[in-house]
Amino acid sequence: MTDEPPGGFLTLGDLEAAGAAKSARDVWEFVQGGAGAETTLRGNRDAFYRQTLRPRVLTGVDRIDLRTTILGTPVAAPFFVAPTAYQGLLCADGELATARAAGAAGLLAVYSTLSTRSLEEVAAAAPDGLRWFQLYLQPEAGVARRLVERAERAGYRALVLTVDMPLLANRDRQLRSGLAVDTPAPIGNGADVHSPPRALTADGGRFLLRVDTAATWEVVDRLREWTRLPIVVKGVLTGEDARRAVDHGASAVIVSNHGGRQLDGAPATLDVLPEVVEAVGRDAEVYLDGGVRRGSDVLMALALGARAVGIGRPVLWALAAGGEAGVARLLSLLEVDVATVMALTGRTTVPAIDRALLGAPRW
Amino acid sequence: MTDEPPGGFLTLGDLEAAGAAKSARDVWEFVQGGAGAETTLRGNRDAFYRQTLRPRVLTGVDRIDLRTTILGTPVAAPFFVAPTAYQGLLCADGELATARAAGAAGLLAVYSTLSTRSLEEVAAAAPDGLRWFQLYLQPEAGVARRLVERAERAGYRALVLTVDMPLLANRDRQLRSGLAVDTPAPIGNGADVHSPPRALTADGGRFLLRVDTAATWEVVDRLREWTRLPIVVKGVLTGEDARRAVDHGASAVIVSNHGGRQLDGAPATLDVLPEVVEAVGRDAEVYLDGGVRRGSDVLMALALGARAVGIGRPVLWALAAGGEAGVARLLSLLEVDVATVMALTGRTTVPAIDRALLGAPRW
Amino acid sequence: MTDEPPGGFLTLGDLEAAGAAKSARDVWEFVQGGAGAETTLRGNRDAFYRQTLRPRVLTGVDRIDLRTTILGTPVAAPFFVAPTAYQGLLCADGELATARAAGAAGLLAVYSTLSTRSLEEVAAAAPDGLRWFQLYLQPEAGVARRLVERAERAGYRALVLTVDMPLLANRDRQLRSGLAVDTPAPIGNGADVHSPPRALTADGGRFLLRVDTAATWEVVDRLREWTRLPIVVKGVLTGEDARRAVDHGASAVIVSNHGGRQLDGAPATLDVLPEVVEAVGRDAEVYLDGGVRRGSDVLMALALGARAVGIGRPVLWALAAGGEAGVARLLSLLEVDVATVMALTGRTTVPAIDRALLGAPRW
Amino acid sequence: MTDEPPGGFLTLGDLEAAGAAKSARDVWEFVQGGAGAETTLRGNRDAFYRQTLRPRVLTGVDRIDLRTTILGTPVAAPFFVAPTAYQGLLCADGELATARAAGAAGLLAVYSTLSTRSLEEVAAAAPDGLRWFQLYLQPEAGVARRLVERAERAGYRALVLTVDMPLLANRDRQLRSGLAVDTPAPIGNGADVHSPPRALTADGGRFLLRVDTAATWEVVDRLREWTRLPIVVKGVLTGEDARRAVDHGASAVIVSNHGGRQLDGAPATLDVLPEVVEAVGRDAEVYLDGGVRRGSDVLMALALGARAVGIGRPVLWALAAGGEAGVARLLSLLEVDVATVMALTGRTTVPAIDRALLGAPRW
């Protein structure tokens, strides 16, 4: 691990720099890029910069407890590994390295339909780890159903249905990088599993365009027929859709704009989180991903009502920087950072992170 | 087409870069520059960055229909080729290339009084294409009238009267580029046709200045005597003027600041669009141009009440990058981008693009 | 004039670039610099960028009349040469060049107490030009009184009392440039005339500091005893002080922060103009200086209630770039720019520039 | 002092540049850096840029009196030397140089628990200087108590209890610099004195983290049993905590975010000052530190209700640039700057600096 700086990886910035140094350029552009002009990609970070934290002092912070539950299952900290595709592009072990590190840390990890390793291999790599399976709908319903059944059998504890990717968005940076856009690496879950379609195809008239998926909210009902696993709807940015997800039986929603990789022009996730939290009320859990890089980001999202937050690109940085050890280091750095910010804001438990923690926005 | 990147033009940015590489510097400054400090030029883009889109998910987006009508005529998509002058500076075929590409795409194109090719040549290049004629008033009314009559005869379906150019503004970048300011290329519509005047001339006292055109709203009435073509008033930025245009019989108005090339200090077109839409009500159609570069921009304008949007500079980029094929590629990229954003926001038809699509602005 | 670009000076930017090229570095830092962190210097420009203009079209702009009156005297345009010190640093003729150019243009020019040429020489250079005398209070009242009496005799038509300079501010850039701060060039109005003091001096206790001037509003009363010339109070940024100036008999006030050269942290002049205009009502004229560089700036200030605006640094750029011819070119460029913006906004006379011209600010 | 520019140190910028040139890189990163992404570090400065000052003119500013009292003791100006650790890293004399310069200037100086010189040496260096002792709580209460007793004996006039550092925050820049993080230089106050802990350590379960200090508001009560010195609580950013400090007997609070070195995400001190001032009312004095670099900053904080402001990093710049002479120069430059801004805003005494001095914020 020659790119590790003296003293080891001390910050997420160290992991990012080492990951960039070790990765092929086209892979790195795939990891870092977003859709269109990357307005939404930047917006996710800006939303965290905009918020301020009102620290309370002398509250007695000798014991900081990061533990919480997610859908009732205890986890070590209020953040989890968000699903990201093709982790094998970053290091040979791919999702197996992630699974071992997350499992050892006692953290939830979510694995993509588009993993380079099969969902059974991932389960075997960390049998005791808490894992969820992220599902992309498939052109053939049978393929999707078999994925769901395999995940349930392999001990995945929830299904995360991604709803913001009826087709692959225009990702200018990735297009220019030269990496194959549709399937840049083999999909470990089987040859019949597909990535969401990239291209719109003409059908009939020139301007009548067609995508392969016709998914509506009924797919959630169908999923509930296929499995007794709780269903989490990922990629919701409005109160209306969050409410609808709950009404169709979702146990949780993830406020996500796919890390700025799908709809460029979508709002920052932190900015719409309150609307979703209010719409959902106590009927489901709400998570958030997109731009979470610091302990202070985690606290801001929790203060606005998220139960936990997902970490996406930094896991890929860590995989590239150091494989399983890199991810372990990342998760440990984040835990310490969350605990530090809790101590500095005078919160010793996760439930104590309330809206009063937030001050006036900077602008 | 040696400047085409491997894999072809994948984004508008590719077309812009190739266009810059192939164009003489003074021509490129003419294309890209704006008036004064280019505050308005930048402002047009900033207004799109400021808006956010609220995507709805699982609405069933297997068929995306971009078709709409403009003044009752069906078009393939809710955008059109905005009028730009002197297209022959960018490629030898000039407006003929544009006409062929737009015609093949089933899109409306508007041609400038200051085309390098005659309006009859343009019509012959794409006889079935939907075309409108943009009119600059002329020092001699007879010259303008003959242009109108020729356009009607040549199958142009509407007259677009530009009202924001009683004289040519101070375009600092163009002035410094060395390109002839008044008439940088021959005007194809005849030797008696003139560009709007550049210079103010002293008349009597030193500080009593004179421009050649004394146009008032009566010119719209006069146009209606000359022709039965519908009249579109281009260059309106206030509700008052939009209303006045309609009261003088205009069938539509174009919210435009001439791409930031005329009044530096004018507001972004997207910012004033709602005021114009409200003033006009159902009495006329409202279009917008200025800074439209992405499918998301198109949807934002439509969500705020525009029926269609005009594309200006990108057509010039595409002409320089690849002539007719470049423009065809541009129009296709834009169509796919609009359709993609429609799919990602859960809108399958143009009428479904409503104000609920817009979220809280970023700042 | 080898630094003149081909085609001559086409924009104020050309004059600035040529002025920089021809000037010694320390002089140029003196011209361009402001106080402290130059927050106020930048703020003056930002305030103009923030405003937008609502252009009205088809109003008939064949004759644009820039003429107005200032304190009842006709001038060719609603802008004037603001007082700036030590013009001889920029070109050998100094204020004489300015006087000739402004006189020929029919514009008001204000000359500083700290001119490098005597006020009588300046008057002789353009006997028919409209000129005002800017007064800095002097340690000895007799010196100030003699300046006032000389100005009245030499045909100056108003006294401009600067009130924002009880002492010279900390101008970091100038301090570092090496130019003598107190009196960088000889003062043409006599060896007994002084610049405002630079240094605070200890007096008694260490922290009891002393400046040489104890001026209060009574100085305005005293001035009115010395002369029958109208008095203009320059350097007012609040409604309260503007009102007070009028109550002490001032005929006009100039909203000015000394071009960002005195109190860093002072607001942009355009931002406080409405407050001053409202406080003064119809009892006096209000002018503005600070950052005016474009015709659109002039219209924005007039729309907010200024009767005219002062041009400061650009005159120094023009002097350095081309002496009298440079200043003549500057004034002509500005006139054409004002007339152009009037035409583009549909205003043909100065009184027609009203508040309805302003749209929603950009931020 | 070869890095002194010709003419000496004319601005704080000169001192900063010379300090940087003379310091080892790791030390300089320690001085300049902040926590995390340095959002709060930048925010402190931005808050001053955002405010504007409304200058009043012709108020008679011949005598400017900077003197005020702090907890009843007269001082030469309304600013003081804020406590900063390890001044011996910047120059050999360390805190002794600071003490001599501050004492000679008649200004309050606060010395850190983590001084490189002992508190008795510091007292001896400037016996007549007004000095306060900053206290970090210690793992063993006896150690803290002995520090308090020594400080009282050595003539320190108040105890400043820092409450925003239960542990050392993640300071990315410092971590990367290579400087020892916990104790980069020997602590002069004794081998049993400790810096706040850096690392969180696991205790029991993996995610149950532990810090060494369990301080609650009772520590203020305990301090009051140990000493009769007035107690100042430093590091408060909310009205609630400020009120609580006063209710526990604090004589004053310092609104501070530790110069952006602790909780990244904390608001700018100037932004929360009004909330603290309102909560405290007349029951205690309120000071502020964080980003104060200019006389205008001092006036802005005083206008918002601070009685005085602390100067942190610039003292370190000055120590590195010129030792005692450097600090003396710094304090003198600041005094002159405060006096200048008072003159330019028409305020001749500290009590005259009221809220009416502040205009509309820039954004």
Q: Which of D272, D320, D309 is nearest to D110 (CA)?
A: D309
Which tokens belong to A96? 């197996």
Give the mean pLDDT of A174-194: 86
CB C319 within 8 A of CB C326: yes
Specify the pLDDT at position C223. 96
Give the mean pLDDT of A108-113: 98
Q: Is C258 a catalytic residue?
A: yes
pLDDT band at D277 (very low <50, low <70, confident <90, very high): very high
Q: Pseudo-torsion of CA D213, D214, D218, D222, nearest 10°?
A: -40
Cα–Cα distance for residue pair D323/A295, rounded to 1 Å: 39
Cα–Cα distance for residue pair D47/D50, rounded to 1 Å: 5
Q: Which residue does chain B place closest to A203, by CA atoms?
A: B63
Cα B26 to Cα B23, B31, B259, C207, distances in angstroms: 8, 9, 18, 62
Give the mean pLDDT of D110-126: 98
AA identity, residue D183: T
* pLDDT above 50 (res D1): no
Which tokens belong to C306? 């200024």
The pairing of beta strand D68-70 with beta strand D73-75:
antiparallel
* Beta strands per DSSP E along chain A: 63-65, 68-70, 73-75, 79-81, 109-111, 131-135, 159-162, 201-203, 205-210, 231-236, 252-255, 285-289, 308-311
Give the mean pLDDT of B324-351: 95
What are the chain D neighbours of C213 within 8 Å (beta carbons)?
Answer: 61-62
CB C328 within 8 A of CB C101: yes
Cα–Cα distance for residue pair B303/B70, rounded to 1 Å: 16
Specify the pLDDT at position B312. 98
Cα–Cα distance for residue pair B185/C108, rounded to 1 Å: 42
What are the chain D neighbours of A343 within 8 Å (beta carbons)?
Answer: 166-167, 200, 211
Q: Which residue does chain D place closest to A59, by CA atoms?
A: D216
pLDDT band at B204 (very low <50, low <70, confident <90, very high): very low
- Other CB atoms within a 10 A radius of the CB of residue C193 amount to 20
3-state DSSP assignment of residue A358: strand
* pLDDT above 70 (res A204): no
Cα C289 to Cα B137, C304, D285, D358, distances in angstroms: 38, 13, 41, 21
What are the chain B neighbours of A203 within 8 Å (beta carbons)?
Answer: 63
Specify the pLDDT at position D199. 66
Cα–Cα distance for residue pair D345/C235, rounded to 1 Å: 12
CB C353 within 8 A of CB C302: yes
Burial of A217-227, coded b for 16+ CB within 10 Å and e otherwise, reads: bebbeebbebb
Specify the pLDDT at position D205. 37
AA identity, residue A92: A
Specify the pLDDT at position B59. 94
The shortest CB-CB distance from B62 to any of A205, A211, A363 is to A211
pLDDT band at D3 (very low <50, low <70, confident <90, very high): low
CB B265 within 8 A of CB C295: no
CB D335 within 8 A of CB D66: yes
* pLDDT above 50 (res D206): no
Burial of A251-274, coded b for 16+ CB within 10 Å and e otherwise, reads: bbbbbbbbbbbbbbbbbbbbbbbe
Q: Which residue does chain A place closest to B296, by CA atoms?
A: A265
Which tokens belong to C163? 């009130």
pLDDT band at B289 (very low <50, low <70, confident <90, very high): very high
- The backbone torsions φ and ψ at residue D287, rounded to the nearest 5 degrees and listed phi first, read -115, 170
Cα–Cα distance for residue pair D317/D334, rounded to 1 Å: 14
Question: Is A11 buried (19+), middle (13-18) or exposed (0-12) by CB count in 10 A?
Answer: buried
D236/A57 CB distance under 8 A: yes
C337-356 pLDDT, tens digit each: 999 999 999 999 999 999 99
Specify the pLDDT at position B208. 54
Cα–Cα distance for residue pair A188/A117, rounded to 1 Å: 4
Give the DSSP H or E segment for C70: strand C68-70
CB B31 within 8 A of CB B313: yes
* pLDDT above 60 (res A161): yes
Q: Which of B100, B194, B243, B258 is catalytic?
A: B258
Mutation site for B-interface testing, chosen from C338, C344, C358, C363 by largest number of B Cβ within 10 Å: C344
DSSP class per residue in A245-278: HHHTT-SEEEE--GGGTS-TTPPPHHHHHHHHHH
Mutation site for A-interface testing, chosen from B294, B331, B336, B340 by largest number of A Cβ within 10 Å: B340
- Other CB atoms within a 10 A radius of the CB of residue C127 amount to 11
Q: Which of A10, A296, A342 is nearest to D181 (CA)?
A: A10
What one-character DSSP code corresponds to residue B355? G
Strand partners, A131: A109
Mutation site for B-interface testing, chosen from A207, A237, A273 by largest number of B Cβ within 10 Å: A207
Cα–Cα distance for residue pair C338/B68, rounded to 1 Å: 43
Q: Which residue does chain C place closest to D49, by CA atoms?
A: C39
CB C294 within 8 A of CB C274: no
**Helices D39-50 and D269-280 meet at what angle, rounded to 10?**
70
A263/B344 CB distance under 8 A: yes
D82-109 pLDDT, tens digit each: 999 999 999 999 999 999 999 999 999 9
Cα A303 to Cα A223, A274, A342, B190, C278, distances in angstroms: 32, 10, 12, 69, 45
CB A245 within 8 A of CB A284: yes
pTM, two decimals, is 0.96
Query: If you search the block for the tokens 């500083």, which residue do you land on?
Result: C112
Tally C-beta pairs within 8 A across A and B: 132
A363/B363 CB distance under 8 A: yes
Neighbouring residues of D114: CB distance < 8 A, sequence distance ≥ 6: D85, D86, D136, D183, D187, D189, D193, D195
Residues in chain C: 363
Cα–Cα distance for residue pair C279/B49, rounded to 1 Å: 39
A56/D240 CB distance under 8 A: yes
D305-357 pLDDT, tens digit each: 999 999 999 999 999 999 999 999 999 999 999 999 999 999 999 999 999 99
Q: Which of B23, B91, B43 is nearest to B260 (CA)?
A: B43
Give the mean pLDDT of A111-135: 98
pLDDT band at A198 (very low <50, low <70, confident <90, very high): confident
Give the DSSP H or E segment for C209: strand C205-210
The pairing of beta strand C73-75 with beta strand C68-70:
antiparallel
Q: Which CATH superfamily is domain A11-354 in?
A: Aldolase class I (3.20.20.70)
What is chain B's Cα-based Rg?
A: 20
Q: Which of A22, A171, A258, A293 is catalytic?
A: A258
3-state DSSP assignment of residue D327: helix
Give all chains having 3 or more CB-to-CB distances under 8 Å with chain A: B, D
pLDDT band at B45 (very low <50, low <70, confident <90, very high): very high
C4-24 pLDDT, tens digit each: 776 789 899 999 999 999 999
Q: What is the sign, positive or negative, of the torsion defined by CA atoms of D160, D165, D168, D172?
A: negative
B8-34 pLDDT, tens digit each: 898 999 999 999 999 999 999 999 999
B267/C343 CB distance under 8 A: no
* pLDDT above 60 (res D207): no
C266/D55 CB distance under 8 A: yes
* pLDDT above 50 (res B206): no
Which comes out higher in pLDDT, residue D180 or D26? D26
Specify the pLDDT at position B163. 96
- Longest Cα separation, chain B: 70
B164/C49 CB distance under 8 A: no
Mean pLDDT by 10 residues, chain C (363 residues): 71 95 96 96 98 96 92 97 97 97 97 98 98 94 96 98 92 80 87 84 50 78 96 98 98 98 98 98 98 98 98 98 97 94 95 97 93
Map out the domains of chain A as residue ranges.
Answer: 11-354
A290-317 pLDDT, tens digit each: 999 999 999 999 999 999 999 999 999 9
C241/D53 CB distance under 8 A: no
pLDDT band at B1 (very low <50, low <70, confident <90, very high): very low
Which comes out higher in pLDDT, residue B191 or D180? B191
DSSP class per residue in B80-125: EE---S-GGGTSTTTHHHHHHHHHHHT--EEE-TT-SS-HHHHHHH
* pLDDT above 90 (res B63): no
The shortest C-alpha distance from C70 to chain D (Å) reads 24
Give all chains having 3 or more CB-to-CB distances under 8 Å with chain B: A, C
* pLDDT above 60 (res A282): yes
Cα–Cα distance for residue pair D334/C323, rounded to 1 Å: 40
pLDDT band at A5 (very low <50, low <70, confident <90, very high): confident
Burial of B75-89, coded b for 16+ CB within 10 Å and e otherwise, reads: bbbbbbbbbbbbbbb
Strand partners, A259: none
C213/D105 CB distance under 8 A: no
Neighbouring residues of C242: CB distance < 8 A, sequence distance ≥ 6: C233, C236, C253, C255, C276, C279, C280, C284, C286
